[in-house]
Structure 1
Amino acid sequence: MTDRVRLFQTLPHTCGYFAERTAQNLVVDPAAPNLDRLYAPALAKGFRRAGGHLYLPQCNACQACVPCRIDVAAFSPDRSQRRCLKRNADIEVSEQMPGFTRERHALYRRYLHARHSGGGMDAADAEDFQRFLAAPWSPTLFLEFRTGNRLLGVAVTDVTLAGLSAVYTFFDPEEDARSLGTFGIIQQVELARRRGIPYVYLGFWIAGHPKMDYKRRFKPLEIRRHGRWIPMP
């Protein structure tokens, strides 16, 4: 990131994690012609991609969202994560080009209906699917999880030389017992390891949040505080 990169601050809006709070984001100029080259250094500064936007929470009254990343070389699955891998030993993982297919979209909608019913997300059409999960400039890859011909899940990940960013994982809600969210993160760590990529960025950790605190289980985890990355205590 340089002083030639324009940054914008969004208007205050309802926080996606705490409904009673107001949030604002710092956003890299979405019209910048070099977003693909900016992506890796933006990740290193704690930014995250959502659709075609690179953003960082910038809230005056709250600093709950903390960027976090896994140190790939040092990561070793704990007992629970090893059980998850064993439970899913029948799954074939393959690297696929991103994009819309009817099969992926149907799975995505089933997942959203189970996890976000009534919030509007579960009505995502083909355009919503494509717009949220990928961008024309993003180095996106879909990791597909299959048993035979059946698609069980997809881990959407962005691959840069400096770091891999775990964008979103969706899976068959009837397969909750498999812990495919955990499985997806481990597979992205393995992808980074195979490619010699040092970090897997998990977006934001929020201490104690029922949907965000799970990230602390992927050790060693680094968090970004006061402009630098430090080991999570």
Structure 2
Amino acid sequence: MTQHLTQSPQFFLTAPSPCPYLEGQLERKVFTHLSGAKAVEMNDLLTQGGFRRSQNIAYRPACETCQACVSVRILAQEFKTSRNLQRVLHKNQDLVSSISNTPPTSEQYLLFQTYLEARHHLGGMSDMSALDYAMMVEDTHVDTKIIEYRKRGPDSFITGKGEGELIALALTDQMADGLSMVYSFFNPDMEERSLGTFMILDHIERTRTMGLPHVYLGYWVHGSPKMDYKTRFQPQEHLGPQGWQRYQKNK
């Protein structure tokens, strides 16, 4: 008897649980593990197919009665900065973004905890320890970057790095066709800076500089006001039954 070995991933389905975005809805997720020599290639394919990554897990919604979660990606090379977004860039012109080449730090974890306590204190990540945070960052088989945002220092134009306190951070996957923003957080006391928006603008510029087409933002949830910000970055594509198609936000 001949055995046929396959490298195809195995997919699993979670049990129903309350949806964190839409009241009264139940969510389920289909997921698979990302590991081994094909992890980078598999992460690219799955992200392009509407999956998100968390550590070594790739997942996407598989809800039985709802299809509100829609994968979003920005067309970076065609992106035009609106007046409102230009104001965000102006407010943060004193910040420098740079890729951290060190392991996760206590400074990062303290900012992470401060952000969760202010924005998601009842969420599933609120009780994460420093070790849990380090695992979130380091437990991966794909090409992941830590991008830090700090105030500009006198030598920033030489070193390319900021020298002030850590203000924001993005955990980002480098993909063959662009960047995927896995998770980001920031100082919640600096709300006037619109740091979440600023980090997306920075990722668009990084992607343009690399000559790549897409910035993946994860899911826009139709009917969830806190997800509406994702449609501000035009032009963008949404993943539907017919594949990726352009989405135009109603004025």
TM-score by length of 1: 0.92
Q: Quick one: which amino acid aligns to residue 65 of structure 2?
A: A
The two structures, once aligned, show a CA RMSD in angstroms of: 1.9
Q: Which residue of 2 aligns with 1:113?
A: 117
CA 135–162 in structure 1, closer or farther in 2 if over 3 Å, else same: farther
Q: Which residue of 1 aligns with 2:179?
A: 164
Q: Quick one: which amino acid aligns to residue 100 of structure 2?
A: Q
Contact 1:143 1:156 (C-alpha < 8 Å) held by counterparts: yes
Task: Indicate the SS of the match to 1:95.
Answer: strand
Deviation, 1:92, is 1.3
CA 128–19 in structure 1, closer or farther in 2 if over 3 Å, else same: farther
Gaps of 5+ in 1: none
Question: Identical aligned pairs, as a percentage?
Answer: 36
Deviation, 1:30, is 4.7
Q: Which residue of 1 aligns with 2:156?
A: none
Measured in 2, the distance between the counterparts of 1:230 and 1:173 equals 34
Q: Which residue of 2 aligns with 1:138?
A: 142
- Higher Rg: 2
Q: Which residue of 1 aligns with 2:72?
A: 68
Deviates more, 1:49-58 or 1:27-36: 27-36
Q: Which residue of 2 aligns with 1:40?
A: 44
Q: Which residue of 1 aligns with 2:86?
A: 82
Measured in 2, the distance between the counterparts of 1:127 and 1:227 equals 42
Task: Indicate the SS of the match to 2:225.
Answer: coil
Q: Quick one: which amino acid aligns to residue 77 of structure 2?
A: A
Gaps of 5+ in 2: 1-5, 152-162
Deviation, 1:227, is 4.4
Question: Please, which of 194, 199, 206 is the counterpart of residue 179 of structure 1?
Answer: 194
Deviation, 1:19, is 4.1
Measured in 2, the distance between the counterparts of 1:86 and 1:224 equals 32
Contact 2:144 2:171 (C-alpha < 8 Å) held by counterparts: yes
Within-5 A mapping of 1:44-55: 44-55=48-59
Q: Which residue of 2 aligns with 1:193?
A: 208
Q: Deviations over 1:80-111 (max 9, x none)?
A: 11000001001111112374201101111111
Measured in 1, the distance between the counterparts of 2:53 and 2:211 equals 22
Deviation, 1:3, is 8.6
